[in-house]
Structure 1
Amino acid sequence: MSWLPCPDPIPGDARAADLIETAIIPRARDLGGLEVRRALPSAKRQMVGPFIFFDQMGPAEFVLGEGFDVRPHPHIHLATVTYLFDGEILHRDSLGTELKIRPGAVNWMTAGRGIVHSERTAPETRARGTRLFGLQTWVALPASHEETDPAFSHTGESELPVIEEGECRVRLVVGKAWGHSSPVNVFSDTIYADVALEPGARLPIDADHEERALYTVRGEIEIAGERFPPGQLLVLRSGAPLTVRNPGPKEARFVLVGGETMDGPRYIWWNFVSSRKERIEQAKAEWKAGRFDTIPGDADEFIPLPESR
């Protein structure tokens, strides 16, 4: 396939300020010995489409014997979406899943009425040293699906559509775009694409999805003549198509995320998301009382319920 035409801007074309609603600079946090940069939720924006949580993990390099450890913890009423650029993570959950995720694949874990999982560096990976760089996002479930049964799906790198045209390369992680569809099952209109642009390359982004944002991963991108460095979440204005260009001398990489507006407000507390405050209170009490399922092979540790948050 071919991209849509991408003419150079001319006087009177939309400015970046007309195309970008807000720019969010992530805040740094520590997650199990790994620095993460959290873009959502933020004071400027809680959600973009169904995406209510957006973390950049790393880039980090672990010395021999060290690694990444997030002990067993619970979720309700959301789906976690894990996607890596470098390294690997061993995922275990209370359904009995035990699987490594590597770059280019996607883990989609539906918490539904409740699930417990852990994310670690495997012992054999620690023994040789490793790096880690990737994204973890949470997708809020529509109210009608919040109490669905928990589930886990892994879609390998070779199963995700890759769209190449000239110096543009797009891996479609979730959803439909540019005439292609990802095989990952979703509960509402959702888009997630991993985009790499060589120097001078351009990519048109249409306005088919109600809410959209770009997260700059590596290198600079240019929108309507304005440049944006890595490590920003650019929330795009609804209904406004635009073109992204790589103005720099090296590859630029970003992800496009979004989808339809959520079907009402969402409450978020620790690892719980819900359309109902009382359901979060119930989940808090159940975790504190030990009423969630445990993880086969990883039941000796857990993250306690925070005293306050």
Structure 2
Amino acid sequence: MLDQIIDARAASLGNGFHVRRILPYRLRRMLGPFIFMDHGGPVSFSADQVPSMDVLPHPHIGLSTVSYLFDGQVTHRDSLGVQQIIRPGEVNWMTAGRGIAHSERFEDPATLAGGSLEMIQTWVALPEAAEESAPTFENYQPQELPIFTDKGVWLRLIAGNAFGLQNDVKTHSPLFYVHVVLQPGTRFGLPQGYPERGAYVAKGSVEVNGQVYGVGQLLVFTPGIDPILVAREATTLMLLGGEPLGERFIWWNFVSSRKERIEQAKADWQAGRIALPPNDDKEFVPLPEDHSRPAGSSPPPQAFS
């Protein structure tokens, strides 16, 4: 019933900002097209901490970044000239394609006053035909993301198709991504029709086949099996998965089906061929040292990007 249980590992974004890193994992690189997943927070900052937590402009290729907040607010700026504040319940979906740079900054006055931040960031690898597409950015408001409620269940479809719901979030391959809140004792199943499916426990705990799993665990389920998850307490889950895309290489913030494309992206960033955001171009994250390790193994990805 369970193929794998992935325990989130602590990861640092620098300046004392720590996250739970779920994907990639050494024994599981991807789940459907999802190749990266971070859970940041909940965390509160003092006014003097917030500027140092900013994620400076940095590049991506070959993927879509998906930002979803439980609490707080973040300002996105990218090389397309987009400036977008994301708030809880919204989706920021940025497709890097052949190359984009962006920043994420904590400019919310409430955050500066000591408010909290909690967000999930995932990266969705692109199919080969879309890897060199033109970069795009879309913000989707809560009213564009369908909600379903039933006794003990609240859920929002973030992207894809699941439980008979669909929305206009543009995806490039078959997938599902769902935010679910369960009340204690509620029994719940997974979307059907996908070969790879998982449930990440963001809050609370669930019982599956007599075993209890808690915060920071990603449960990866056996294809063809339809498990029942029972909430042991008030629980928040992120359900995700879809059709696999085949092998992908990941190095820093670059994802590609070809190792040589990763090398080209490194050279492009070093040479300034990936433009900085025009309204945030005074600083940026330099290319990390390679240390001659193969693409797909180092260095760790830049989170919240």
Give yes or no for TM over 0.5.
yes
> Is residue 113 of structure 1 aligned with residue 98 of structure 2?
yes
Distance 1:103 1:225 in 2: 33
CA contact (8 A) 1:32 1:69 kept: no
**Consecutive unaligned residues in structure 1, runs of 5 or more:** 1-18
> Kindly tell me: are residues 120 and 32 of structure 1, through their superposed partners in 2, closer, same or farther at Cα, counting changes over 3 Å?
farther
1:60 is aligned, of 43, 46, 55, to: 43
Give the deviation of 1:65 after TM superposition: 3.4
Question: How do 1:40-59 and structure 2 match up within 5 A?
Answer: 40-59=23-42
2:229 is aligned, of 230, 235, 244, to: 244
Q: Secondary structure at the match of 2:48?
A: coil
Distance 2:86 2:108 in 1: 15
> Kindly tell me: are residues 61 and 126 of structure 1, through their superposed partners in 2, closer, same or farther at Cα, counting changes over 3 Å?
closer
Counterpart in the other structure of 2:279: 297
Structure 2: which amino acid aligns with 1:144?
Answer: A
Distance 1:281 1:261 in 2: 24
Distance 1:244 1:126 in 2: 35
Structure 2: which amino acid aligns with 1:305?
Answer: L
Counterpart in the other structure of 2:149: 164
CA contact (8 A) 1:164 1:170 kept: yes
Question: How do 1:32-181 and structure 2 match up within 5 A?
Answer: 32-33=14-15, 34-67=17-50, 68-122=53-107, 124-181=109-166
Give the deviation of 1:124 after TM superposition: 3.5
CA contact (8 A) 1:72 1:299 kept: yes
CA contact (8 A) 2:10 2:21 kept: yes
Deviations 1:164-200 (A, max 9, x none): 0111011110111111102201000010000000111
> Is residue 27 of structure 1 aligned with residue 6 of structure 2?
no
> Kindly tell me: are residues 206 and 267 of structure 1, through their superposed partners in 2, closer, same or farther at Cα, counting changes over 3 Å?
same
Counterpart in the other structure of 1:285: 267
CA contact (8 A) 1:32 1:70 kept: no
Deviations 1:57-81 (A, max 9, x none): 1111111233231000000000000
- Residue-pair matches, total: 288
Q: Secondary structure at the match of 2:262?
A: helix
Moved more, 63-72 or 78-87: 63-72
CA contact (8 A) 1:83 1:107 kept: yes
Q: Secondary structure at the match of 2:285?
A: coil
Give the deviation of 1:123 after TM superposition: 6.0
Structure 2: which amino acid aligns with 1:46?
Answer: R
Distance 1:274 1:125 in 2: 38
TM-score by length of 2: 0.92
Structure 2: which amino acid aligns with 1:43?
Answer: R
Distance 2:227 2:111 in 1: 43
Q: Secondary structure at the match of 2:266?
A: helix
Counterpart in the other structure of 2:302: none
Question: How do 1:155-304 and structure 2 match up within 5 A?
Answer: 155-248=140-233, 251-262=234-245, 264-304=246-286
Q: Secondary structure at the match of 2:228?
A: strand
Q: Secondary structure at the match of 1:242?
A: coil
CA contact (8 A) 2:72 2:111 kept: no
Q: Secondary structure at the match of 1:175?
A: strand
Distance 1:62 1:127 in 2: 7
Structure 1: which amino acid aligns with 2:242?
Answer: G
Give the deviation of 1:130 after TM superposition: 2.3
Q: Percent identity?
A: 48
CA contact (8 A) 1:65 1:126 kept: no
Structure 1 runs, 4 residues or longer, greater than 4 Å off: none
